[in-house]
């Protein structure tokens, strides 16, 4: 069955935000602090500009080839053979990226909450509903994202507000004490997350208002940026240099607020909402991977790949990394350059080639 579903602009915003933010708020404060220290919020501002540029390129490609995904239009730009190579790279990207997210999800639950439980238990637990969601189609995924997004955002804001009285904003000073280099390094560590607007290369053909895609994407990126900046500032203002030693600083922040405010199990409530957010991210990436594979092999019914891809994701998320430390090192050393090349580099090359081709054809006329 060819996907016939359509999503609204509000659902598009929800999907973009929920693709980036759930894992970003959990990991980026520590990753950024190791490089930029108290200037991490400036790093986020810088990488936001990068996210705008990537989104701008993808949106313009989608305008040139309205109603088509990058798997479909890359062949029209660079030829059938190289188009297949690009399509394959994007299939690998979505599967590898999702396997990383699934492993992150499993590590978070297994570490602080249920250390004796095998990672495989959590992996299967999240992938079964993901397979079902992909099988049901884009509209079901989008509606679920639209429901969870405001709850997730509201919970993050409430947690931050509850902790304001214990924040010491002097910990955010001095600004740019070591110059711009640490800030730029901090921004580079975040590229992998902010490039995840790459889902637009697959889902934009299913929007019901294609002319609003650009505006809605920029709104989503701004929302993500504001959320992560607020989380970063709150955590640094609360813990200072201790942030560098934390695996999950936002979870530690929730536990701290729970302890000082006599709010029992606040961290468990936050974790419950975080699981909902990560599920949306996983099912969106799962869907993008399935659509990419079905189009690469010209299979009309994308649903037949839902379970096989799900099984592959379960296997990869459990065998690619031996520990949480290895996972973090992989994200730092491999994911950032690889994701930058595929998520930003390929669309940039494609749009340059297409613009040159169109100008050449126009000049000939």
Tell me which H or E stretch contains 235: helix 213-239
Nearest to 278 by CA among 11, 96, 5, 17: 17
The predicted pLDDT at position 211 comes to 81
* Segments of the chain scoring below 70 in pLDDT: 1-4, 261-264, 335, 361-365
Cα-flanking dihedrals φ and ψ of residue 38, to 5°?
A: -70, -10
The predicted pLDDT at position 189 comes to 84
In this predicted model, what pLDDT tens digit does every residue of 248-298 receive, in sequence order? 899 889 888 877 765 667 777 888 889 999 999 999 999 999 999 999 999
Q: Is residue 76 part of a domain?
A: yes
Q: Per DSSP, what are the bridge partners of residue 207?
A: 7
- Residue 244 sits in which domain range? 9-364
Q: Is residue 356 part of a domain?
A: yes
The predicted pLDDT at position 68 comes to 92
Nearest to 65 by CA among 53, 56, 74: 74
Question: 3 with 137: CB under 8 angstroms?
Answer: yes
Torsion of CA 301, 307, 308, 311, to 10 degrees: 160
Question: What's the Rg (C-alpha) of the chain?
Answer: 20
- Number of domains the chain contains: 1
Q: Is residue 88 part of a domain?
A: yes
Question: 338 with 127: CB under 8 angstroms?
Answer: no
The predicted pLDDT at position 192 comes to 81
The predicted pLDDT at position 292 comes to 96
CATH number, position 315 = 1.20.1740.10
Q: Is residue 1 part of a domain?
A: no
HSE (side-chain half, CA atoms, 13 Å) at 183: 15
Which tokens is 7 given? Answer: 């999503």
Say how far apart CA 193 and CA 44 lie, in whole Å: 11
Q: Is residue 97 part of a domain?
A: yes
Residue 322 burial (C-beta neighbours within 10 Å; 0-12, 13-18, 19+) = exposed
Q: Is residue 120 part of a domain?
A: yes
- 212 contacts: CB under 8 Å, gap ≥ 6: 9
| Predicted structure pTM score | 0.93
Q: Is residue 3 part of a domain?
A: no
Look at residue 84 and give its three-state secondary structure.
helix
Q: Is residue 154 part of a domain?
A: yes
């Amino acid at each position: 069955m060819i996907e016939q579903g359509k999503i609204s602009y509000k659902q598009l915003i929800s999907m973009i935000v929920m693709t980036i933010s759930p894992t970003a708020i959990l990991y980026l404060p520590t990753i950024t602090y190791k490089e930029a220290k108290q200037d991490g919020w400036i790093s986020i501002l810088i990488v936001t500009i990068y996210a705008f540029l990537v989104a701008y390129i993808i949106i313009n490609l989608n305008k040139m080839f309205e109603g088509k995904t990058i798997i479909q239009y890359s062949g029209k730009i660079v030829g059938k053979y190289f188009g297949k190579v690009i399509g394959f790279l994007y299939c690998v990207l979505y599967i590898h990226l999702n396997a990383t997210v699934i492993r992150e999800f499993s590590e978070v639950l297994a570490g602080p909450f249920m250390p004796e439980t095998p990672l495989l238990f959590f992996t299967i637990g999240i992938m079964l509903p993901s397979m079902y969601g992909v099988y049901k189609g884009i509209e079901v995924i989008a509606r679920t994202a639209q429901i969870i997004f405001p709850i997730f955002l509201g919970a993050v804001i409430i947690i931050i507000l509850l902790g304001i009285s214990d924040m010491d904003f002097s910990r955010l000073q001095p600004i740019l004490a070591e110059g711009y280099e640490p800030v730029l390094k901090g921004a580079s560590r975040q590229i992998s997350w902010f490039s995840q607007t790459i889902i637009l290369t697959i889902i934009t053909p299913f929007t019901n208002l294609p002319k609003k895609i650009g505006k809605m994407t920029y709104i989503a990126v701004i929302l993500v940026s504001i959320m992560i900046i607020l989380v970063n500032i709150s955590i640094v203002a609360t813990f200072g240099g201790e942030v560098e030693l934390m695996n999950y600083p936002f979870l530690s922040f929730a536990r701290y607020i729970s302890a000082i405010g006599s709010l029992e199990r606040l961290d468990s409530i936050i974790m419950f909402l975080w699981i909902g957010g990560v599920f949306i991210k996983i099912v969106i990436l799962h869907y993008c991977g399935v659509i990419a594979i079905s189009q690469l092999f010209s299979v009309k019914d994308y649903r037949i790949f839902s379970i096989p891809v799900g099984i592959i994701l379960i296997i990869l998320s459990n065998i690619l990394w031996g520990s949480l430390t290895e996972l973090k090192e992989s994200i730092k050393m491999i994911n950032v350059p690889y994701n930058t090349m595929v998520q930003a580099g390929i669309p940039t090359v494609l749009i340059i080639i297409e613009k040159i081709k169109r100008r050449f054809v126009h000049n000939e006329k």
